[in-house]
Structure 1
Amino acid sequence: MPMPPEIKRYTRRLLVTMTLYGVALVGANMWFRHAPPAGLLAYIVAILPALPIMGVFVVIGRLLIEMRDEYVRMQFVRQSLIATGVTLSITTAWGFLEGFQLVPHAQGYYAATLWFSSLGLCVMVHTVREIWRARV
């Protein structure tokens, strides 16, 4: 089955965005390790790896706008909402545990990692369910 053109564009955009993320992350880490910037420049360099991650959310939004298959779009929106609920639930619970000094501090950027992991898990579960339904 051929890949729809909007998925090809999404994949290309995601590849570019994640490549920029890798370059920004490695570059910022190396810069801080070998010749740490100071002042405003330090803040700018520290934020650089976050920009491509923000771009991934834009890429996902564009995919939702460009998707022609309304059923697939609805499934993706549902999976995104589940991933958002899982992420907000876990980060809220962790925040309370952290507030009562029962767990160590977690860096805020782990929320994006948790969201992407939750989304991936939702997509996997949905795919397995669809395969299972097709066989039964």
Structure 2
Amino acid sequence: KHHLIPGGLQYVVAVLPALPIVGLFIAMGRYLVEEPDEYVRMLRVREMLWAMGFTLSCATIWGFLDNFGLVGHVDGYWIVVLWYFGQGIGSIANKLTLGASTC
């Protein structure tokens, strides 16, 4: 491969697109800490737990299927998309089980 960017600068350029996503997660964490309404905070935490469980389960299953050559490799940045989809599942679960969601 021909590299247009020399040496260690490649790492910096490769990480740059991830920084806004990292910023989103930091903002979500700060929101949880600063949310004064305990009920709303609990709803958000439940959504995030659903997102985490969904994402980790999917990534683990896909990883083993990938190791056996049964599915194609997926780039790691799709994990964030999966996580936000899982958060939507959590919001639906909150609506169905508690009658409320943050959406």
Stretches of structure 1 that go unaligned for 5 or more consecutive residues are 1-34, 132-136
What pairs up with 1:98-109 in 2 under 5 angstroms? 98-109=66-77
Most deviating of 38-47 and 97-106: 38-47
Which among 10, 27, 44 is matched to residue 59 of structure 1?
27
8 Å CA contact 2:50–2:89 kept in 1: the answer is: no
Which among 90, 98, 113 is matched to residue 81 of structure 2?
113
Identity rate, percent: 46
Aligned residues: 97
Which among 65, 70, 78 is matched to residue 38 of structure 2?
70
Report the Cα distance in structure 1 between the residues aligned to 2:53 and 2:90, rounded to whole angstroms. 12
Report the Cα distance in structure 2 between the residues aligned to 1:76 and 1:63, rounded to whole angstroms. 10
Task: Please identify which structure carries the higher helix content.
Answer: 1
Which one scores higher on RCO, CA 8 angstroms, separation ≥ 6? 2
Report the Cα distance in structure 2 between the residues aligned to 1:38 and 1:123, rounded to whole angstroms. 45
Relative to the length of structure 2, the TM-score reads 0.84
Relative to the length of structure 1, the TM-score reads 0.65
CA RMSD in angstroms comes to 1.8
Report the Cα distance in structure 1 between the residues aligned to 2:4 and 2:92, rounded to whole angstroms. 41
Q: Deviation at 1:51?
A: 1.1
Larger radius of gyration: 1
Report the Cα distance in structure 2 between the residues aligned to 1:110 and 1:93, rounded to whole angstroms. 15
